[in-house]
């Protein structure tokens, strides 16, 4: 007896609150399974150590991935100004920096203003940037010297939410391709301190906010069309 495989007709978007430790593709696989195998893609990678908004596109909505990736993003991050790390986050080994006099809040705010606009940025060596056909993080983990190319990125706003030495909490609105790990490192270098991320949370991609997101355990049960947001025009 031949059994014809049912093809999912789901079409739309669903916003996921990615937990620490999962990759964006882990999220896609979880959503796809919950959606009965519907074609699924995501609109922007989020590092495994980061949390927050990952937009998953199902069915014909996957054609909207590029458009969604161009939307401005909002992040909240905590930067430890007392040390650098090779990975620019908690994954790398700490390299302490002697800071006899911590910067004032006024100095930090002035420095952050200097990073608003179009800026040159060098991605972390532990990133997914392609170097001679290979991912930079794979080269770095093999102990190879990685010469990272600089790129121009757009940062729309940086707001200081809290500052208690050595931890600096920032809200950042930025364009596509911005590395918040690089920004935290570069702010520290400019201040004459260290700089690496303690935490990173993406709170919005365009109008798709964390308030519209679903926790990952939601996808232990099936998705229906009623769960999906419409495809953007």
Catalytically active residues are 47
Residue 148 φ then ψ, to 5°: -85, 130
Give, in order, the Cα–Cα distances in Å from 3 to each of 6, 8, 18, 115: 9, 15, 36, 59
């Amino acid at each position: 007896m031949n059994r014809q495989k049912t093809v999912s007709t789901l079409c739309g978007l669903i916003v996921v609150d990615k937990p620490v430790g999962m990759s964006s593709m882990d999220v896609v696989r979880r959503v796809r399974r919950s959606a009965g195998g519907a074609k699924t893609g995501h609109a922007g990678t989020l590092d495994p150590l980061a949390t927050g908004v990952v937009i998953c596109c199902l069915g014909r909505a996957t054609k909207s991935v590029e458009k969604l990736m161009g939307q401005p993003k909002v992040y909240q991050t905590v930067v430890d100004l007392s040390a650098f790390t090779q990975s620019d986050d908690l994954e790398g080994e700490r390299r302490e920096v002697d800071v006899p006099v911590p910067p004032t809040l006024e100095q930090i705010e002035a420095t952050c203003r200097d990073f608003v606009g179009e800026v040159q940025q060098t991605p972390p060596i532990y990133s997914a940037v392609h170097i001679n056909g290979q991912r930079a993080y794979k080269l770095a983990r093999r102990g190879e010297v990685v010469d990272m190319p600089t790129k121009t990125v757009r940062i729309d706003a940086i707001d200081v939410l809290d500052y208690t030495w050595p931890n600096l909490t920032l809200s950042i609105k930025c364009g596509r391709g911005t590395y918040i790990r690089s920004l935290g490192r570069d702010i520290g270098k400019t201040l004459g301190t260290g700089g690496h991320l303690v935490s990173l949370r993406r709170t919005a991609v365009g109008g798709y906010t964390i308030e519209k997101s679903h926790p990952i355990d939601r996808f232990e049960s099936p998705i229906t069309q009623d769960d999906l947001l419409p495809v953007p025009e």
